[in-house]
Structure 1
Amino acid sequence: MRSIAILLLSYFLIIEPHVSYSQETNESLNQELRIDQTEANQILSDLNKAIDLTNYGDYREADKYFQKLDSSQLIISNDSIRMVMLESRSFMNKVRKRYNKSLEDLLEMLNYFTDKKDFNNIAKTQTLLSEFYRARGLKDLAFKHLQSAEKLIETEYVDPCNIAYWFSRRAAYETQFQPNTSNIIFFCQKGLELSGSDCTKYTEALIYNELGFTYQHSESDNDEKVISQYKKSLEILTEANRMRDAATIRHNLATYYTRKGYLDLALEELNPVIELAEKNEWHGSLEDLYIQKMFILSSYGLYKEAYDLSRKAYNSKIELMNDQYAIDVEELQAVHDRELAEEALEQAEIRAKNNEKVLLYWILGASLFGVSTLTVIILFFRVRGKNELLNKQQKDIEKSNQQLSNSLHEKEVLYKELNHRVKNNLMVLSGLIYLQQNSDPSPENEELYKALRNRIQTMAIVHEKLYSIDSSTNINFQDYLEELVPLIYNSLKKGDAIMPYTIRCMTLFLPIDKAIPLALIFNELITNSIKHAGTDTLEQGILIEAKTDHGTTRIIYQDSGKGIPEDFDISKSKSMGMKIVNLMTQQLRAKLDYQSDKQGLKFTIQFD
């Protein structure tokens, strides 16, 4: 039914408004386009297949159809149908990280709808451009296009489906660039208020995903609330056969299970997603899926399988880069700068045209004043020389911008590769220690091996986080701690006891020189709490809370254990763990306070 609907819609886009669909109209259309009805039906069928394949995630097959359609006379001569094709193709190229091609299609759509003064589709295209720049991590440009769409929504008629989509993308913008739970939930609820029709089903799925991600961080203890949002989104996408988007939701759900320590449930979600991603060659997401499964298997002690997955993740990254470079796509880190350069070039052309007009006036004046002829000729050659110099300088600027862009991209790739290799080496080292532990029969060394492995894995997680972000971005310490705590507990847990934990560090983002020392401090504190806790105190859990005020960060760590002696002095402690805490505190140039009472032990770390 969906195929028939799209086919009929495409036909009505071809004919003039308010004209009934008839055999005479069809014959007239075919005569105008010089194309027979059979070929027209085949082209529209191919367009329908390309859109379905794109929604499913089979991008290689969809790309073949798009290449065929791009040269079709029907597509070329009918702008309305071409806009439908461009919207689907731009989405496919964005997911495949073919950003240049995706942007070209979106700008062509924007120009067409602007010429037509089609404010409804202008607002939709502006929202799509915002989503494009959000995927690139370009905050200012994403917000600029959101604002442009919002102005049209306020002043012109825009379809409720497009308004609902705008609210969903505004919520996604808040989630990525300026996390604020209240704002995100507000925009999501506004989008859901406009839902209910077929055109908003996909938007509803996007909104439920945003809500699940938001509740995952703001209400992490409410499993039912978080999981239900992801399940709603997954149900809609699966019913619509949008398997690539459904795979993203299952990946998010697996990430939540992993952070909560539900590793078996996480594997249940990851395994079918990895199989589907391998089948459809989704290299952009395979790398993250392999890495997540690698850490789960490492937690189970399956280091050989984890190592194999690390190699697969590396090969998937190489495949993604090969695919991008094979189609000669430039990874631009400064799209905004390029647009400014293009604007400067346009201004230079305008100035050159104005200069030519000035020369023309001088030549006309010279016909009346023969004495000035020589002067006019001299001025002509001087101005032309300046124009040539200006054009040469402009070309030099464009070349320099291109070189800087390529250099920046190479730096980012090398930086991520460095962190990737360091992380892998640390995991291999942890595996070697594990093998040595198994071969050492002496029980007194078991705690030493565990502590050493936890310290290595603590640093490995930091490098894993650095690998997934740009070199200029700080580490989200909330996400880091939510991954670290279950890892340490699983390696040291006592029987069937469960240790709950509360982490309130949503605003804590740290560079690597602060993240690693602080990570090692928390590794030792968490390890100490678990080792010295009884079953009753263990089940009372731990609390980690961070607050930043006027450039000073204050972090509190608290457990419910038996505490420490009143005369305890960390600088004189013979414990290796406390020595590491003291040493890392000095490296941070931080102030460390500790209190102990009947309610447990409390550490306070304060640094600028």
Structure 2
Amino acid sequence: MDSLKAILVEEPENLVALNDLAFAYTYTNLDSARALLLQAIEINENDSLQLGISKETLAIVDEIQGNISSALTLHFESIKIFEQISSSKHLAWAYNGMGALHYQQYDYDQALFYFLKSMDIRTQLNNPTEVAKSMVNIALIFNKTEQYDSSLFYLHSSLAPFVDNTDQLMESIVYLNLGSTFSYMEQFDSAEYYFNKSETIQKKIGDHEGLGVLYRKLGELYSEKKDLLKALDYYTLSLEYVQKLGDIGRFIETKQAQYLVYEAMGDFQNAYQIQSEYLILRDSLINIKNKEIINEYNIKYETEQKERTITELELEQKNAALAFANSQNQRNIFIFGFAILIIFIRFLYHRYTTKKKTSELLSEKNVEITKALEDREILLKEIHHRVKNNLQVISSLLNLQAGSLDDDVAKDAVREGQSRVKSMALIHQKLYSADDVRGVDVQDYLENLSAELFRAFGVDEEKVNWAIDAAGLKMDIDTVIPLGLIINELITNSIKYAFQDVEHGLLNISLEETGETMHVMVKDNGIGMDEDALKSSNSFGWKMIKSLSRKLKAEINVKNEQGTTVYLTLSRYKLVV
């Protein structure tokens, strides 16, 4: 950096030095990087390569600072420049940047698409170090999709080129991602080992961006190990680095992690304040407008690529026709035949243009229909996302209210209300994160609901366990909300009353469709309760079960047979195929 500054003292308009120094500043001082890049763009008159580099680097700065629309525009502009000047190396770099933007927007399919395009070019250029960088990014996608073995394979495969070339920055990034992968796999000793290796290198080279990410990952690790105070210390360190750098995306992620720790500690005042800040910041960074802009640019880019291919084909056809005409003109004997050939070509051309116009019209209509469907699905997901957020806020408020109550009965009532809200929030969370927003996977939902309730009531999993059999069933939201609330009440009753004198408790939940009827069973091997006892133990909950059962046209039977068994026979429900 000192050498670059010295060059700029002698040559203030040296575009290469301006771009190189700006890129170096992206790891330490984003505002300085932006100023240098804007200066380079302003004074650049005819150097297309350096203009593309300036715009791609500025896109990276905008992306880190949360200016998604501007970053997207700059990525596409740099891609177009590098395509025009046929700079494969820089085109691979720009594709990588576009992949990183989609990754930040949680669009992992598009992110993987651009990372693979980047890696293909780098493989063709026979550049092992750059291929390894693409492999690191692809490993990130596999982490997010919980394909941890694939992630470890790509990360270990990418390490050798960085070690051979003494690229300490990339070496530290690989160690950081290895630590993250092992942390996700709950292999905490291996995770700490790689995090420590990464920290040693990052401190040595002064990588503030990397340290900000590393300390958040260490906070997550100690949070998983239930060392909450140490987790908070690492989150505080992380926030100092990312806030100084101006990295809005990572600032939001660390804030959310902080909220979860405060909630686990029972510090509900700090938890509520941080959660509110997180929701506001996250909604400002990721919203429907950004997704609309991304879709619009993706369509525009794909259309330009198709138009370029068509233009090249037309040019080839025109060159072939010209060569043929020149050949025929040399022989007057074929003038008449040539005239007939021209007429025939014109006829074919007329048919071709007519067919092309029809095809373009159909393509435009298909694009409009596809975009309308995508917009509708995005809107539905956004609605489920906002409903889930609102229900989480309500759950947090109920949790705060319960913490302030002295009366145990009132506190239990508020916590039961909180569990009901969480059961509904879980449904909207599943719909928001699913590819198909029409319905909820019942097996996955009930497993998450049971785990949440067992954790909320502090049930010892070695003493009491649960099993669910609903594989292959997917229900629409109008069915799964009342059914989820009913099962929530039945699980809560079993946890509270059934297993007090039972050495090894077991809760079984099963759903099976027979003909046009859905059979639901919730059974425990506890002390056993009949319908009257169940009703007296939780009169409000039983009334709610009865009310919701009428909505599903369900018959309820309670049997005391080596524990309590509740049978529901539903005649009004809807499955999603």
Normalising by the smaller structure, the TM-score range is 0.5 to 0.7
> Is the aligned partner of 1:68 residue 2:36?
no
Name the counterpart of 1:101: 74
What is residue 380 of structure 2 aligned with on the other side? 415
Is 1:354 the equivalent of 2:320?
Answer: no
- Output the amino acid matched with 2:127: V
- CA 1:420/1:288 → structure 2, altered by over 3 Å: closer, same or farther? farther
**For the structure 1 residues 248 and 372, does the alpha-carbon distance in structure 2 shift closer, same or farther, using more than 3 Å as the test?**
same
Equivalent residues of 1:254, 1:270 under 8 A apart: yes
In structure 1, what is the Cα distance between the partners aligned to 2:351 and 2:93?
44
CA change 1:431–1:143 in 2 (3 A) is closer
Unaligned runs of 5+ in 1: 12-35, 547-557, 602-606
Q: Indicate conservation of the 8 Å contact 1:130/1:142, yes or no.
A: yes
The aligned residue for residue 112 of structure 2 is 142
User: Aligned equivalents of 1:571 and 1:139: distance in 2?
Assistant: 52
Alignment of 1:179-258 (within 5 A): 179-196=146-163, 199-218=166-185, 220=186, 222-258=187-223
Change (3 A) 1:443 1:89: closer
- Write the letter of the residue equivalent to 2:130: N
CA drift of 1:255 comes to 3.9
| Cα RMSD for the two superposed structures | 6.2
The one-letter code sitting in structure 1 at the alignment partner of 2:19 is L
Structure 2: which 5+ residue stretches go unaligned?
A: 511-521, 566-574
* Alpha carbons of structure 1 residues 542 and 308: separation in structure 2 relative to 1, 3 Å: farther
Residue identity opposite 2:39 in structure 1: K
- 1:57-456 matched pairs, under 5 angstroms: 58-73=29-44, 76=47, 79=49, 88-89=57-58, 91-92=60-61, 95=64, 96=66, 97=68, 98-106=71-79, 108-109=81-82, 137=107, 139=109, 142=112, 146=116, 149=119, 153=123, 157-159=126-128, 161-177=129-145, 179-196=146-163, 199-218=166-185, 220=186, 222-259=187-224, 261-274=226-239, 276-278=241-243, 280-299=245-264, 305-317=270-282, 319-320=284-285, 330-332=293-295, 335=298, 339=302, 342-343=305-306, 346-347=309-310, 350-351=313-314, 354=317, 403=368, 407=372, 410-411=375-376, 414-430=379-395, 433-434=398-399, 437=402, 442-456=407-421
2:571 maps to none
Q: CA 1:461–1:276 in structure 2 vs 1: closer, same or farther (change >3 Å)?
A: farther
Q: Secondary structure at the match of 2:167?
A: helix
Could you tell me how far 1:39 is from its partner in structure 2?
1.9
Q: Secondary structure of 2:295's match?
A: coil
Question: Residue 51 of structure 1 corresponds to which residue in structure 2?
Answer: 23
When residues 411 and 460 of structure 1 are mapped into structure 2, their CA distance, relative to the original with a 3 A threshold, is same
Q: Which secondary structure does the structure 2 equivalent of 1:192 belong to?
A: helix
AA of the residue aligned to 1:206: I
**In 1, Cα distance between equivalents of 2:358 and 2:94:** 35
Aligned equivalents of 1:244 and 1:310: distance in 2?
24
User: CA offsets, 1:159-181, max 9 Å, x none?
Assistant: 4x33543443343343344x444
CA drift of 1:54 comes to 1.5
CA contact (8 A) 2:108 2:141 kept: no
Per-residue CA shift, 1:510-561, capped at 9, x if unaligned? 88849868976886687567646999999x9999999xxxxxxxxxxx99x9
> Contact between 2:159 and 2:171, CA under 8 Å: does it hold in 1?
yes
Distance 1:389 1:522 in 2: 62
Q: Distance in 2 between matches of 1:67 and 1:122?
A: 21
Secondary structure of the corresponding residue to residue 420 of structure 2:
helix
How many angstroms apart in 1 are the aligned matches of 2:197 and 2:441?
Answer: 27
Shift of 1:324: 8.2
Alpha-carbon distance in structure 1 between the residues aligned to 2:220 and 2:173: 17
Query: SS in structure 2 opposite 1:196?
Result: helix
Taking structure 1 as reference, are residues 38 and 114 closer, same or farther at Cα in structure 2, changes over 3 Å only?
closer
| Alpha-carbon distance, 1:417 to partner | 3.8
Worse-superposed segment, 478-487 or 309-318? 478-487
**Which whole-Å CA distance do the structure 1 matches of 2:444 and 2:240 have between them?**
26
CA distance in 2, matches of 1:372, 1:124: 53
**What displacement does 1:196 show?**
2.6
Cα distance change of structure 1 residues 384 and 192 upon mapping to structure 2, 3 Å threshold? closer
Using a 3 Å threshold, how does the CA distance of structure 1 residues 286 and 516 change in structure 2: closer, same or farther? farther
Instruction: Give the aligned length.
Output: 540
Q: Are the aligned partners of 1:126 and 1:145 in contact in 2 as well (CA < 8 Å)?
A: yes
Question: What are the superposed Cα offsets for residues 101-131 of structure 1, whole Å, 9 maximum, x if unpaired?
Answer: 324435655775767xx7xx88877777766
Report Cα offsets for 1:56-113 as digits up to 9, x if no partner: 3x54542332222234459927x5x677656644544555542343244356557757
Cα offset, 1:451, TM superposition: 1.9
Is 2:288–2:379's contact at 8 Å kept on the other side of the alignment?
A: no
Structure 1 contact 188–207 (Cα < 8 Å) conserved: yes
Q: Is the 8 A contact 2:175 2:194 kept in 1?
A: yes
Q: Does 1:460 align with 2:425?
A: yes
1:583-602 matches, cutoff 5 A: none
Q: In 1, distance between residues paired with 2:316 and 2:274?
A: 60
Task: Judge conservation of contact 2:256–2:275 (CA < 8 Å) in 1.
Answer: yes
Q: Label 1:197 to 1:337 Cα distance change in 2 as closer, same or farther (>3 A).
A: same
Q: Structure 2 CA distance, aligned partners of 1:572 and 1:530?
A: 13
Inter-partner Cα distance in structure 1 for 2:150 and 2:532: 44
Separation in structure 2 between the aligned mates of residue 570 and residue 234 of structure 1, nearest angstrom: 62
In 2, Cα distance between equivalents of 1:479 and 1:211: 28
Give CA deviations for 1:302-350 in whole Å, capped at 9, x if unaligned: 555545444433432454369987xx99212894895377326633663
Corresponding residue for 2:517?
none
- Once the two structures are superposed, residues 227-266 of structure 1 have per-residue CA deviations (whole angstroms, 9 ceiling, x without a partner) of 4434443454454444344433434444444455444344
Q: 1:355 and 1:319, CA in 2 relative to 1: closer, same or farther beyond 3 A?
A: same
Q: SS where residue 26 of structure 2 aligns?
A: helix
The answer to whether the 8 Å contact 2:55/2:77 transfers is no
Q: Residue by residue, what CA displacement relative to the aligned partner does 1:435-465 show, whole Å, maximum 9, x if unpaired?
A: 7657876433332222221231343355456
State the shift of 1:421 in Å: 3.0
In structure 2, how many angstroms separate the alpha carbons of the residues matched to 1:432 and 1:49? 49
Letter in 1 for 2:168: K
1:291–1:543 distance in 2 versus 1, CA, 3 Å:
farther
Query: How far apart are the structure 2 equivalents of 1:481 and 1:280?
Result: 42
Equivalent residues of 1:476, 1:508 under 8 A apart: yes
Task: Give the letter aligned to residue 425 of structure 1.
Answer: N
Distance change (3 Å), C-alpha of 1:232 and 1:520: farther
